[in-house]
Structure 1
């Protein structure tokens, strides 16, 4: 009897809904039956926002959303690096946010901890977003976020020392040879060669990979950081130390200081210090994309940061609505104009000349694997680069790095069983 009453109730609602409009399809009726309850507006939504600058920007945007929907948006200043740990504590108690902000390499970790919700989007809703940025925020076939910021490294150069940016790696070496003068503490070309984030495009320009990528994600048992192509590039890197193009003491902070003083012709960096370099060098500061290496486009790491919906949110329908509002074309254009950062939309273009190289390079970059196992890669590869700088054979250094990654990943995965 209860089952019959339930069927009759659904039938009655269906008839009433159908009578509201002559053109309503069965699909529309089912959508109305399933979604009407979800569309009840909450009084508020909460966002965890990373830093004062972001707080100021999103205050203006969310005020617009409130005027449009009547939903108050509460912004809480919470450091990006603290959000995952905080959510694991605050989420279960109902004190967490509806939206939180993270880099893509935490996506897999956040999902596996049950913190990041899978978000269903239509093809229309995803129009205008960079496919590479969306893929970076997709874990195991599940879309977990929409991109806001994309970052890659490119070439920053001083036009007083380097008239024309290099088109090939041979050009880079010629400039390094011509401009470098140790007595003047002047360098034609430098980069933080012991940091895997910066040396990745130089080591992997001809082949190799961290984890083999397939249609189902990454195979963490297939690591090729010691592929023959990577070893060969490791030998080239070592030769740059031998020739004095780069020095063992040249970390990123040292290079930045020398560049601002006009002592470095070109180096590898990201867009985050653009205004600082402009202030220091004036019209002599310029940017360019990476050169080609043996005819191949060099590809640095791509970093993507975006808005995630908390699995603990009780208002996922409206959290998604807010997410789409925050990252629409108009608001992302405003974001790049005001924040001097590259966005994850292909229909948004920076108006700032010095950001153009980063915008172009981001289209030719490799997203860091967004799986938890990536955390086991940085130290072994950093150690390998240090050993290479100290004269160790690149093959031996990279073989050790592979063994270290394999060992740490095995330990990590064994602890999950």
Structure 2
């Protein structure tokens, strides 16, 4: 019942947000906006909402070069990535929003449906060099709504003190878990945050499995694959890892990071976020490799994409798009990966860090998280199912219940489909 109440609350908030913040324009306003979209009149200033102090410091240098090139000043405003969608829905209609804003790709559908993200048109030449999956993640209803700046995924870290060579198969990973796990020494052969759907996705889903069935480029939200035969079977395997003591029930992801840094973990599946710390602490003992094969197929983790969106309310769309292309160019993103130690949305940008290169390679074999609003209904039920599995509940029952919760929540969001 709590799930239904939460879904109703989400629906109410969404309806209020759409009605309060979506474009409410006359045909005359629309015609004028379309005409001004291609206006080449230079503005005095463009505004970017930037995520955090590190990005502010980086883009201050980049936009200074853009100003020197074009004469257009760029105002950088520090707004947290997770706050930008809500803030722009309030600020943009009042004329206080940015020209460019920065979001994770799973907000793409919401940004478009609220009338906040402008549809973009690019030539084939302008899109050369971008990761195609990353571009697709920022496309909604066949409309390109952003350009990718950063991509994220998970890979397998390992400690060479335990493993001389990177494991190639999941069977090898399991064998290492058995060999090196020693609870008395608080030592683990294999760790990942198995109660978090983001991290356990590649261990539950084979390559042919799906969250929402896809018809072409569109997701069918009425066809769920979260409790398929394969996912249930992999859920049973996950539960066995708990029973065998490979995975601790109480440890959080932060605790696991600490254990890995302390040299207490042989293999650890996570993202590149703490890579610099691992390199400093573990030195030559640090190894990084792509996820292993499972049943002869390469495992595919989630691909997260963060990108730059052009506000529908921007009064200088031509030049805002020009700035977007500038800050996502090969030259700019090469500087970004060198300075920020993150992988970018371009395949023609290469990191000089061999450990980061592994994530660039893994990103080529990763599954973009669905960017539709209905995906927000998936995280909590699947997280709960993962917790239930860790506590010994039947995996099929856990996944069936999660699927039913998600189905009910989506039905509440789309009562017209009943």
Normalising by the residue count of structure 2, what TM-score does the alignment of the two structures yield? 0.90
1:165 aligns to what? 166
1:313 aligns to what? 314
1:57 aligns to what? 58
What is the CA deviation profile of residues 155-193 of structure 1, one whole-angstrom value per residue up to 9, with x for unaligned ones? Answer: 111111122111001101111111111111111101111
1:326-365 alignment to 2 at 5 Å? Answer: 326-365=327-366
SS at 1:162 equivalent: coil
SS at 2:220 equivalent: strand
SS at 2:87 equivalent: helix
1:199-238 alignment to 2 at 5 Å? Answer: 199-205=200-206, 207-238=208-239
Shift of 1:368: 0.3
What is the CA deviation profile of residues 301-344 of structure 1, one whole-angstrom value per residue up to 9, with x for unaligned ones? Answer: 00000100001001111100000011111111001000000000
Q: 1:108 to 1:159 in 2, by over 3 A?
A: same
1:150 aligns to what? 151
What is the CA deviation profile of residues 378-408 of structure 1, one whole-angstrom value per residue up to 9, with x for unaligned ones? Answer: 1111111111111111111111111011011
2:87 aligns to what? 86
Shift of 1:205: 2.3
Q: Distance in 1 between matches of 2:213 and 2:49?
A: 34
Shift of 1:36: 11
Normalising by the residue count of structure 1, what TM-score does the alignment of the two structures yield? 0.90
Q: 1:78 to 1:416 in 2, by over 3 A?
A: farther
SS at 2:42 equivalent: coil
- Preserved CA contact (<8 Å) 1:48 1:100: yes
- Preserved CA contact (<8 Å) 2:303 2:368: yes
Say whether residues 1:106 and 2:107 are aligned partners: yes
2:248 aligns to what? 247
SS at 1:124 equivalent: helix
- Preserved CA contact (<8 Å) 2:207 2:300: no
Shift of 1:262: 0.8
Structure 1 gap ranges (5+):
1-33
Shift of 1:113: 0.7
- Preserved CA contact (<8 Å) 1:191 1:250: no
Shift of 1:416: 11
SS at 2:263 equivalent: coil
Shift of 1:208: 2.2
SS at 1:125 equivalent: helix
- Preserved CA contact (<8 Å) 1:207 1:227: no
SS at 1:115 equivalent: coil
1:13 aligns to what? none
- Preserved CA contact (<8 Å) 1:49 1:79: yes
1:56-75 alignment to 2 at 5 Å? Answer: 56-75=57-76
Structure 2 gap ranges (5+):
1-34
- Preserved CA contact (<8 Å) 1:340 1:355: yes
Shift of 1:415: 9.1
Q: 1:415 to 1:159 in 2, by over 3 A?
A: farther
- Preserved CA contact (<8 Å) 2:109 2:140: yes
1:196 aligns to what? 197
Shift of 1:221: 0.3
- Preserved CA contact (<8 Å) 1:178 1:188: yes
Q: Distance in 2 between matches of 1:314 and 1:37?
A: 10
- Preserved CA contact (<8 Å) 1:191 1:251: no
1:258 aligns to what? 259
Q: Distance in 2 between matches of 1:416 and 1:130?
A: 35
What is the CA deviation profile of residues 322-374 of structure 1, one whole-angstrom value per residue up to 9, with x for unaligned ones? Answer: 00011111111001000000000011111111111111101000000001110
1:289 aligns to what? 290
Larger Rg: 1
SS at 1:156 equivalent: strand
SS at 2:266 equivalent: strand
- Preserved CA contact (<8 Å) 1:195 1:382: yes
1:20 aligns to what? none
Q: Distance in 2 between matches of 1:41 and 1:95?
A: 19
Q: Distance in 2 between matches of 1:292 and 1:238?
A: 20
Q: Distance in 1 between matches of 2:110 and 2:409?
A: 16
- Preserved CA contact (<8 Å) 2:212 2:219: yes
CA RMSD across the alignment: 1.6
